[in-house]
């Protein structure tokens, strides 16, 4: 056998072996690439998507709760020197305890989420570690095969030994694929190692965040324990002084009835005025048109005002009349928190505020009335078409009857409630002659 024939046969064997190996590598690379892509997809979907959203929501909720707790803490601190155990202080403390418990529950959710993220990250780290080892072995095997077949130093001879141009082109194409695959394999190893390092670093960050959350939870539980103790003591003092609570309740109900009577009087007067105005307009129109129809009773249409539709479309969106306040008594009929078998009725909501807090209108309108009510300080009624908002217990008023009012315009300052001993705004919403729950109108 001649040397050229031997060399030609050797190159054919090399070529066949190389093609077979290259096909095997391509198959392996495709499987690894799909697996690697699946891991990347799961990591992105599980960690950045749903968990990222949940984490952001929990963080925002925690911040809002801390802000509310800070407000109630400030109010409790202001009244701590007052030795007289007041019902409003008990209301505020109960509100504080509820928010604190909600905060602890939120922290526990965040801790659970952090644990889940750490476990997911560990699973990804394990999978990536296996990937790196597999990729390194594949790359080493590729290098060994290339060395054995001496492809590195015989590219030109390998091409020139082809029987035809088409075969030479196929060999050239395979060599090109080989180089491309080797480069991709090397890049994939580096990328996987980088991702592995990032995930390991991320685990350490998550562990630190979890430790901070656990520390916060422990602190909040300690504060909650003290607040529960204070609440029990305050409740005991209030129960020991039921006679005073009875007197306070009678005084409160009397002041509430006086306020309701004054509000109804002003609203009914406006409805009657509107009725007469509409009748006069209808009569003038009838005379103008020389109508022969018999006169019909005219019903006042307070709800035709653009302010009416504007107000009604803002249910649950209206701004609060005071900033940094805490609702100490909700709307409607409810059991007295201390006195047994006693029901109390609130025509609006009571909002405890910092000293002399500014009171602002919740919607544009006009000042329908202003009056001093014993036990309620000054009261202001704003009209918004067929709707009315009431701001009571003002120590200072900055508007007068007939004034046009813009949304968030200051109308006065909160006064001291002599019964509770706190600065407190009483806020009501009316639709014609009917009471509405203010909480359903104010923004959440």
Q: What is the pLDDT of residue 18?
A: 52
How many other CB atoms are found less than 10 A from the CB of residue 407? 15
Give the end-to-end CA distance of the chain in Å, rounded to a whole number.
95
If DSSP codes are grouped into helix, strand and coil, which group holds residue 247? helix
Taking alpha carbons only, the member of 240, 175, 223, 205 closest to residue 114 is: 205
| CATH number at 247-440 | 2.70.70.10
For residues 372, 376, 380, 385, the Cα torsion angle rounded to the nearest 10 degrees is -130
Residue span(s) of the chain under CATH 2.70.70.10 come to: 247-440
Q: Which residues of the chain have pLDDT under 50?
A: 1-11, 14-15, 30, 34-35, 38, 41-50, 150-153, 298-303
Give dist(CA 66, CA 58) in Å, integer: 12
Q: Quick count: other Cβ atoms within 10 Å of Cβ 393?
A: 28
pTM: 0.59
Question: Do 331 and 438 meet the contact criterion of CB atoms below 8 Å apart?
Answer: yes
φ and ψ at 437, to 5 degrees?
-80, 110
Q: How far apart are CA 168 and CA 11, in angstroms?
A: 12
């Amino acid at each position: 056998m001649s040397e050229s024939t031997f060399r030609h046969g050797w190159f054919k064997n090399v070529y066949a072996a190389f093609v077979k190996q290259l096909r095997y590598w391509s198959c392996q690379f495709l499987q690894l690439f799909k697996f690697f892509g699946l891991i990347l997809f799961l990591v992105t979907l599980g960690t950045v998507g749903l968990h990222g959203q949940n984490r952001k929501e929990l963080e925002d909720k925690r911040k809002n709760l801390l802000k509310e707790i800070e407000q109630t803490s400030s109010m409790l601190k202001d009244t701590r020197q007052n030795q007289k155990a007041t019902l409003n202080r008990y209301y505020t403390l109960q509100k504080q305890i509820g928010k604190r418990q909600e905060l602890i529950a939120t922290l526990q959710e965040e801790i659970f989420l952090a644990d889940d993220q750490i476990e997911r990250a560990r699973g990804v780290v394990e999978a990536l570690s296996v990937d790196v080892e597999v990729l390194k072995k594949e790359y080493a095997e590729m290098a060994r095969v290339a060395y054995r077949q001496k492809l590195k130093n015989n590219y030109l001879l390998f091409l020139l030994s082809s029987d035809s141009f088409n075969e030479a082109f196929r060999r050239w194409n395979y060599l090109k694929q080989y180089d491309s695959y080797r480069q991709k394999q090397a890049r994939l190893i580096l990328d996987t190692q980088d991702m592995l390092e990032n995930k390991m670093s991320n685990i350490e960050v998550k562990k630190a965040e979890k430790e901070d959350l656990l520390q916060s939870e422990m602190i909040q539980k300690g504060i909650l324990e003290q607040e529960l103790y204070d609440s029990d003591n305050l409740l005991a003092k209030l129960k020991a002084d039921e006679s005073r609570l009875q007197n306070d309740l009678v005084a409160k109900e009397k002041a509430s009835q006086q306020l309701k009577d004054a509000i109804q009087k002003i609203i009914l007067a406006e409805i009657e005025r509107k009725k007469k105005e509409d009748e006069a307009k209808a009569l003038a129109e009838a005379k103008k048109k020389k109508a022969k129809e018999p006169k019909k009773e005219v019903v006042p249409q307070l709800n035709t005002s653009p302010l009416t539709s504007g107000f009604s479309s803002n249910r649950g969106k209206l701004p609060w009349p005071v900033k940094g306040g805490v609702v100490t008594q909700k709307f409607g009929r409810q059991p007295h928190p201390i006195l047994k078998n006693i029901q109390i009725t609130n025509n609006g909501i009571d909002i405890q505020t910092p000293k002399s807090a500014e009171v602002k209108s919740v919607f544009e309108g006009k000042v329908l009335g202003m009056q001093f009510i014993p036990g309620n300080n000054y009261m202001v009624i704003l009209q918004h078409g067929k709707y009315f908002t009431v701001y009571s217990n003002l120590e200072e008023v900055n508007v007068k009857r007939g004034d046009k009012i813009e949304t968030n315009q200051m109308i006065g300052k909160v006064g001291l409630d002599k019964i509770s001993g706190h600065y407190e705004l009483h806020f009501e919403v009316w639709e014609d002659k009917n009471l509405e729950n203010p909480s359903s109108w104010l923004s959440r």
